[in-house]
Structure 1
Amino acid sequence: MTTQPPSPDGDDAATAAQTTAAPVDDAPSGPRRRVVVAEDEAIIRLDVVETLTEAGFDVVGEAGDGESAVRLVEEQTPDLVVMDVKMPVLDGISAAERIGRAGRTAVVLLTAFSQKELVDRARDAGAMAYVVKPFTAADLLPAVEIALSRHTELRALEDEVADLSERFETRKRVERAKGLLMQQMGLSEPEAFRWIQKTSMDRRLTMREVADVVLEQVGGKG
């Protein structure tokens, strides 16, 4: 038995579910997404550039240290920066913090380690995803898509909620609601967020209000 997402009005749930449960093509239909790659090891940097280019991204800059990466991002304003954690001059986490303050670019960090402390530092610095070395295209590309999706979500929440503490609470509730929709409907993370975003627009509710309905109607079933 398939569980339908709840309708904030108590009706038309099936219609809303059918609208978003269809397969979604995440490939952009417009201009290619622009990327800066920062990695001090030239061979790895070349591999990342090649992987992203073959996947349809436009690599607009390359850097071998964190300071150069920050400068390139400021000059090019790309959609995404993929950079190593351990780099000379300025490390990747410090660079991510500086890039994150502008709020215009999604960040994916490359690291040889996966300790919880490092993961927490990367998240706090504003990284939307990280990839552990050695990696393949099958590891890198999903992380890139997740980072871009999460960055889009964050920008949408910033547009909706001005207060920082309120935004943080809204983001937590939306994350929990997304998880429930993914579990109950088999949606991907971007699809779950699109459902929340579309429902909020259709019903003229905030995304937090929609998330609260999901948490109450779906989460309460457990």
Structure 2
Amino acid sequence: MMTVVLVCGDKGLRQSVWDLLRAWGWTVVGEAATGPEALRLIRLRQPNLIVVDDEISGMNVSQLMDVLSHDRLAPVLLLLSPSNRWGEELLRHSAVMAATAKPLNEADFYLAALLAEANFAKFSSLEQEVTRLQDQLRTRKIVERAKGILMESFGLSEQEAYRQMQRESMERRTSMRAIAEAIITAQKFYQQGQGKVKKERDKE
């Protein structure tokens, strides 16, 4: 079931949008005329789509888009007036996944709603992939650092150090990253201990 929060201060336009959504079998789970009320409803209802008119009160649309872009709770379909001189700026917000012009055309509105949902799914998938790759890169750097510690501390070759970490990972049934982090932490404590010993000797 497609759920929608409708953000629109114009009662006539809000009713028109509501009628179209109902005709498509979609459910309006919240209606708001102001930005603050919209944010409360969106966070409470967690809709699949947020339909936002470019003329609301209580908070300008750009401010609302800033918050929605940060939270990334759902795709935004913007209802845009051709006379809105800030329209181009509003479309740059990452929360806006599609837009359609006022007055509404049912076919254009329907296609824009589907496009917003599809774009949001692609965007979310891309974000997840970027996060995964960033995590892989961080893990690689941590493993490389730990490998260097083993090589320096025990005179191992790069391959020997890596195999040692692999064995520990398999025996302890934990990730290579966890093993690497443990090695780095152990070295840190060792260095701190050595520093304290040196200070005590210097005092003598």
TM-score normalised according to structure 2 size: 0.60
CA distance in structure 2 between the aligned counterparts of 1:61 and 1:143, rounded to whole angstroms: 20
Deviates more, 1:130-139 or 1:117-126: 117-126
- Is contact 1:93-1:125 (8 Å) kept? no
Q: Which has the higher contact order (CA 8 A, sep 6+)?
A: 1
Aligned residues between the structures? 134
Give yes or no for the alignment of 1:45 onto 2:50.
no
| Structure 1 residues 41 and 123: CA distance shift in structure 2, 3 A | same
Per-residue deviation, 1:96? 2.1
Give yes or no for the alignment of 1:105 onto 2:71.
no
Give yes or no for the alignment of 1:146 onto 2:115.
yes
| Structure 1 residues 100 and 137: CA distance shift in structure 2, 3 A | same
Per-residue deviation, 1:161? 0.7
Give yes or no for the alignment of 1:135 onto 2:113.
no
- Is contact 2:72-2:95 (8 Å) kept? no
The CA RMSD measured in Å over matched residues stands at 2.2
Give yes or no for the alignment of 1:155 onto 2:155.
no
| Structure 1 residues 125 and 159: CA distance shift in structure 2, 3 A | closer
Q: Which residue of 2 aligns with 1:19?
A: none
2:49 aligned to 55, 80, 91, which one?
80
SS in 1 for 2:58: coil
2:24 aligned to 52, 55, 74, which one?
55
Deviations 1:5-30 (A, max 9, x none): xxxxxxxxxxxxxxxxxxxxxxxxxx
Give yes or no for the alignment of 1:92 onto 2:61.
yes
Deviates more, 1:56-65 or 1:112-121: 112-121
Q: Which blocks of at least 5 consecutive residues in structure 2 are unaligned?
A: 135-204
- Percent pairwise identity: 28
- Is contact 1:60-1:78 (8 Å) kept? yes
Q: Which blocks of at least 5 consecutive residues in structure 1 are unaligned?
A: 1-31, 166-222
TM-score normalised according to structure 1 size: 0.56
1:57 aligned partner, one-letter code: W
Per-residue deviation, 1:109? 0.9
- Is contact 2:65-2:90 (8 Å) kept? no
2:49 aligned partner, one-letter code: L
SS in 1 for 2:78: strand
SS in 1 for 2:131: coil
Larger Rg: 2
Give yes or no for the alignment of 1:118 onto 2:92.
no
CA distance in structure 1 between the aligned counterparts of 2:90 and 2:7, rounded to whole angstroms: 18
Per-residue deviation, 1:100? 2.2
CA distance in structure 2 between the aligned counterparts of 1:85 and 1:98, rounded to whole angstroms: 15
- Is contact 2:76-2:95 (8 Å) kept? yes
CA distance in structure 1 between the aligned counterparts of 2:98 and 2:83, rounded to whole angstroms: 12
Matches within 5 A, 1:178-189: none
CA distance in structure 2 between the aligned counterparts of 1:128 and 1:164, rounded to whole angstroms: 24
Per-residue deviation, 1:144? 0.5
Moved over 3 A (4+): 114-117
